[in-house]
Amino acid sequence: EVQLVESGGGLVQPGGSLRLSCAASGFTFSSYEMNWVRQAPGKGLEWVSYISSSGSTIYYADSVKGRFTISRDNAKNSLYLQMNSLRAEDTAVYYCARAVTWGQGTLVTVSS
Amino acid sequence: EIVLTQSPDFQSVTPKEKVTITCRASQSIGSSLHWYQQKPDQSPKLLIKYASQSISGVPSRFSGSGSGTDFTLTINSLEAEDAAAYYCHQSSSLPDTFGQGTKLEIK
């Protein structure tokens, strides 16, 4: 069974940093491209970032470009999102996704 | 970026009614359109993938159709547990994009 489990969320002050992780299991992680998607409280779904299976191709939403960094470790079956210079508007549940399969999400709250 | 526009934004319906939610893409996306259901404090649950492919464990009253730019999610004989937000999602071209959502209220 395909499983994606996010971790690393929490409360952080504006300007701070967090690193999210996504542990993948039940499939050959190194063969799949992955995404991060987020959902602010009471709002819709927003794509954040994409990484190809090898990690050689990466894209970001304009709203996070220059502040967030996506990466992966295929040996550890793990996906990451390094989030720097966090803003209040980054407050959201962050999901890692393989195509149409999503994890349960991890909540990031940016507040003083 | 491909824009997905759902309609309606909100619908109040009675049990056993048939519900249709539409999703229109700003350009052709073939069949790379997926539908999710999301209940409060839960992650999105996949209902239909690639426009019309059913998902194991999803009740048969949920069905999808369409291709190109126009897609439909149909819920036959609505049940109280179907109260939720529904989203469409395209994976035809990066970046993936989502519809704004349709909130379904059960009267």
- A95 CB contacts (<8 Å, ≥6 apart)? A6, A36, A37, A38, A39, A102, A103, A104, A105, B43, B44
For residue A87, the Cα-to-chain-centroid distance in whole angstroms is 16
On whether any CB of chain A is under 8 Å from the CB of B47, the answer is: no
Distance (Å, whole) CA A92 – CA A18? 13
SS3 percent helix, strand, coil of chain A, rounded to 5, is 5, 50, 45
> Quick one: pLDDT at residue B64?
98
A86: closest CA of chain B, how far (Å): 22
Q: What is the band of A39 on the pLDDT scale with cuts at 50, 70, 90? A: very high
| CB contact (8 A) between residue B98 and residue A105 | no
Q: Which residues of B touch A99 (CB under 8 A)?
A: 91
Distance (Å, whole) CA B45 – CA A35? 16
Longest dimension (CA), chain B: 38
> Quick one: pLDDT at residue B2?
97
| CB contact (8 A) between residue A44 and residue B101 | yes
Q: What's the mean per-residue pLDDT of chain A?
A: 97
Q: What is the band of A70 on the pLDDT scale with cuts at 50, 70, 90? A: very high
Q: What is the band of A80 on the pLDDT scale with cuts at 50, 70, 90? A: very high
Q: What is the band of A19 on the pLDDT scale with cuts at 50, 70, 90? A: very high
Q: What is the mean pLDDT of residues B50-57?
A: 97
- Percent of chain B residues past pLDDT 70, beyond the cut: 100
- With CA atoms as reference, the chain A residue closest to B40 would be A42
Distance (Å, whole) CA A84 – CA A88? 12
